[in-house]
Structure 1
Amino acid sequence: MECRLGCGACCIAPSINTAIPGMPHGKPANVRCVNLTDDNLCVLFETPDRPELCAQFEATRENCGNSSAEAIKILTDLEDATR
């Protein structure tokens, strides 16, 4: 599955516990990453500054469902389950 253009769920729902550009203390769960544009595109995508955690994320039906709203729910549930 290819990433849904403009979804942004993976840049909102999960927490990131390491420093990322613009967020030196990481990113809390359910907070928009500062690197996510208004149209939900990552400005770090395919750059050397993209965090390794983000680069390892795979857009799959299991992770992303069938819509952006479903992706937010799935990823939020995963975040809650692994907290």
Structure 2
Amino acid sequence: MEMKELIEQMAKALVDKPEAVAVNEVEGERTTVYELRVEQSDLGKVIGKQGKTARSMRTILSAAGTKLGKRCVLEILE
């Protein structure tokens, strides 16, 4: 499973409108940034209480990236 697919699967499991989930991959020299977009009404579900859900998603992404020798960053956009 690719990182982009991993993020999509995690986000779709959290939201009410999974069809609105979109992930854009921006590759840099040393870092890959994944931009996650969800429906405005689902933004709170993806971020979670005090940002715990977003932090957990970033931790999983970072661990998977480390295993592949890449630095990965998750940005949640409105």
Under TM normalisation by the shorter chain, which class is it?
Answer: 0.3 to 0.5
TM-score when normalising by structure 2: 0.35
TM-score when normalising by structure 1: 0.34
Higher strand share: 2
Higher helix share: 2
